[in-house]
Amino acid sequence: MKQYISIIGDSELQKRLKPLYELKSDINSLKSEINKKATAKFYTILQVCEILHLSRSTVYRMIRNGDLKAHKAYRRVLIPETSIKNLLININN
């Protein structure tokens, strides 16, 4: 098995590496898009009460019934923004 090594010039090297640089820029742009979409906003019970103009007991009842999805973070109950939007869409329909 003979292996040959060829020496190429700068311009040839740049031509061969151009697709890799384009791929790198595409990957970076996809990463930035993912980071923008991945940031979810969460609200506390008090904030949800203010947004929906409901009492705390009503919000807790909606969580128990499954109308709102909640996540527990240590002692805090957090409700994702998407859950509130889904609730409002279901009410409007």
- Is 73 in a helix, a strand, or coil? strand
Domain assignment present for 23 = no
Domain assignment present for 57 = yes
Domain assignment present for 67 = yes
Domain assignment present for 63 = yes
Q: With 70 as the cut, is the pLDDT of residue 32 above it?
A: yes
CATH number for 77: 1.10.10
Domain assignment present for 75 = yes
Give the domain extent around 85. 42-92
Top pLDDT among 93 and 90 is at 90
pLDDT of 37? 66
Radius of gyration of the chain (CA): 26
Domain assignment present for 60 = yes
How many CA atoms does the CB half-sphere of 85 hold within 13 Å? 6
Question: How is residue 1 written in tokens?
Answer: 């098995």
Domain tally, the chain = 1
